[in-house]
Structure 1
Amino acid sequence: MSGLLGRLRGRQNRTLWFWLFVGPFALGLGVFTYIPLLWSVYLSFFDAHNTVAPDPSADFVGLGNYVSMLGDEAFTDSLLTFLVFSVFIVPATFALSLALALMVNRLRRAQAFFRSVFFLPAACSYVVAALIWKMSLFNGVRFGLANTVLGYFDADSVAWLSTTDPPWYWLAIVTVRLWLQAGFFMILFLAGLQRISPQLYEAAAVDGARPGWQVFRHITFPQLRATSVAVALLLVINAFQAFDEFYNLLADARGYPPYARPPLVYLYYTALGQGQNLGAGSAGAVILAVIIAVVTIGQARWFGLGRKEA
């Protein structure tokens, strides 16, 4: 026994120890992530109704599912919903998280406390947060917090989640996502701020730069370029993957309304709804993945991510 332990402790067994620790996680990643992804791509070429194992000789439709999805007005409308959502949430989260990071970074006392307070919502479940927004804040009856505030000004109550003209439901959807993720991206910006050399600010002061906007514009923000690019990329990808807040805010016993249906909600009903068209749902998921990849790569190249500094 001691001889076996001695051999395992040797330098030549680093590979063995590596696979001993990494192997279970790699196996789980392959079984529960990569194999389902590849099988989804496979299903997208078949007429797979109510089955995940179609008959290759009878159910093969080639690119038929892709043509059907791209010609489906409901699917293209879901992509438009994502576009509207991203226009609201990406700049709002970027600006708020950067502002919080700047504020916390300037604190001389209780910085750890405020960092934890602002980050805490990131640990909250999206489902729980959506239900709080739905039942307590933007409830469509008079005892919702938003309607209670309106009542103080003698204004009529608003059915926030079912009013489409104007589309008040966007207020609930955007604010819950903003509350949930601003703290996480604040931490990323805060890490970037703390990497900026104080000597740059000292040199700027010597050159007569005014504290505030001038220093932020010419020193702070350019030094946050890499962090800003990463945050922007993550925000766009997260917007594409929006599901929990939409579904839990807007769905009820009657189902999901025809408005504000993002891609993942639409694919959920396509693949797991009454028709259970897993082939079309898989094709839509592949299209969505390709769009995410193209947008991410295009955004990275536009920002010059990975480009060597001159």
Structure 2
Amino acid sequence: MKHRSALWFWVFVGPFAAGLALFTYVPLLWSVGLSFFDAQNTVTPTHFVGLDNYTAMLRDDAFRDSLKTFLVFTAFIVPTTYVVSLTLALMVNRVRWARAFFRSVFFLPAACSYVVAALVWKMSIFSGVRFGLANTVLGWFGTDSVAWLATPDPPWYWLVLITVRLWLQAGFYMILFLAGLQRIDPALYEAAAVDGARPGWTVLRHITLPQLRATSVAVVLLLVVNAFQAFDEFYNLLSDARGYPPYARPPLVYLYYTALGQGQNLGLGSAGAVILALVIAVVTVAQARWLKLGRTDADG
């Protein structure tokens, strides 16, 4: 009987495990291996260079600038998404009728492709010509059209990048907050009302936010990791027939051009990817320790 159970286990799990190993772990290990070789225009290098690729990447101003771009993007998108998604969750949680409808409406953008959303933002809403929606609204007030994505000064492209990412992911994190809100014991709010606490900021600060601590930590961690992985909206919004501009290049866009651009230096690209993965791991662990993820009140 145990042998038969084990057989059925591998029947169902085997194809998934094989696909995961073939398309995830093998390329991952191969990329790590390439980072120690001179792998320009080849995936089967023979010239071992040790840590030279890592040194070159860390000394590359463009790579360091890409990390700065990530920091700016994170500084905007993480708190903005947190506040908007929490606000939506609080509003939907208070609705007495059609709650499922509003929950579905706000969540639907999460199912949209980042590429499609970026193209809609680029060609319809924030088009640089006067027929774009944003410039049409500005024209109603007598303001000249704005080239939202064409110039780095002023950096209006950040408004486009932040709003498209916010629209795409706020609904998903709203669902996480809704799940956390529904786990809060209503007796806490009743006790607060008996003690004279006014509904609003006082209840939010002293009851709702402390009870949502675990959910908030998870949301912040996911937001930071997803910001590191930003690629689709940057590439599809800012690139054109002439290529990608020299500003606002997040790490993945820079590594894409390093490994698959004209030089096709897979060694440097792989080294950069390993550095980025290590940075994500260090930031995630440090953030988890700072936010005391997994600790209970008894642990101090």
When the two structures are superposed, what TM-score results if normalisation uses the length of structure 2? 0.98
- Are 1:172 and 2:160 matched, yes or no? yes
Question: How many residues are aligned here?
Answer: 298
Quote how far apart the aligned CAs of 1:13 are.
2.7
When the two structures are superposed, what TM-score results if normalisation uses the length of structure 1? 0.95
Query: Could you list the per-position Cα deviations for residues 254-304 of structure 1 after superposition, in whole angstroms to 9, with x for gaps in the alignment?
Result: 000000000000000000000000000000000000000000000000000
Moved more, 258-267 or 197-206: 197-206
Quote how far apart the aligned CAs of 1:11 are.
5.7
Quote how far apart the aligned CAs of 1:188 are.
0.3
CA distance in 1, matches of 2:215, 2:276: 26
Aligned mate of 1:33, from 14, 21, 24: 24
SS for the counterpart of 1:93 is helix
CA distance in 2, matches of 1:304, 1:203: 28
SS for the counterpart of 2:207 is helix
- Are 1:42 and 2:44 matched, yes or no? no
Q: Which runs of 4+ in 1 moved over 6 A?
A: none
What is aligned with 2:196?
A: 208
What letter is aligned with 2:212? L
What is aligned with 1:223?
A: 211
Ranges in structure 1 where 5+ consecutive residues have no aligned partner:
1-9
What is aligned with 2:81?
A: 93
CA distance in 2, matches of 1:188, 1:119: 11
What letter is aligned with 1:89? I
SS for the counterpart of 2:199 is coil
Equivalences for 1:1-310 in 2 at 5 Å? 10=1, 13-55=4-46, 59-310=47-298
Quote how far apart the aligned CAs of 1:15 are.
2.3
Quote how far apart the aligned CAs of 1:225 are.
0.4
Query: Could you list the per-position Cα deviations for residues 62-98 of structure 1 after superposition, in whole angstroms to 9, with x for gaps in the alignment?
Result: 0000000000000000000000000010000000000
CA distance in 1, matches of 2:153, 2:183: 47
SS for the counterpart of 1:166 is coil
CA distance in 2, matches of 1:11, 1:111: 47
CA distance in 1, matches of 2:95, 2:246: 47
What letter is aligned with 2:293? L
Quote how far apart the aligned CAs of 1:172 are.
0.4
What letter is aligned with 1:39? W
CA distance in 2, matches of 1:29, 1:223: 37
Quote how far apart the aligned CAs of 1:113 are.
0.1
SS for the counterpart of 1:174 is helix
What letter is aligned with 1:30? A
CA distance in 2, matches of 1:93, 1:87: 11
User: Radius of gyration: which is bigger?
Assistant: 1
CA distance in 2, matches of 1:234, 1:15: 35
Ranges in structure 2 where 5+ consecutive residues have no aligned partner:
none
Quote how far apart the aligned CAs of 1:53 are.
0.8
Quote how far apart the aligned CAs of 1:182 are.
0.2
Query: Could you list the per-position Cα deviations for residues 119-165 of structure 1 after superposition, in whole angstroms to 9, with x for gaps in the alignment?
Result: 00000000000000000001001100010011001111010001211
Quote how far apart the aligned CAs of 1:12 are.
5.3
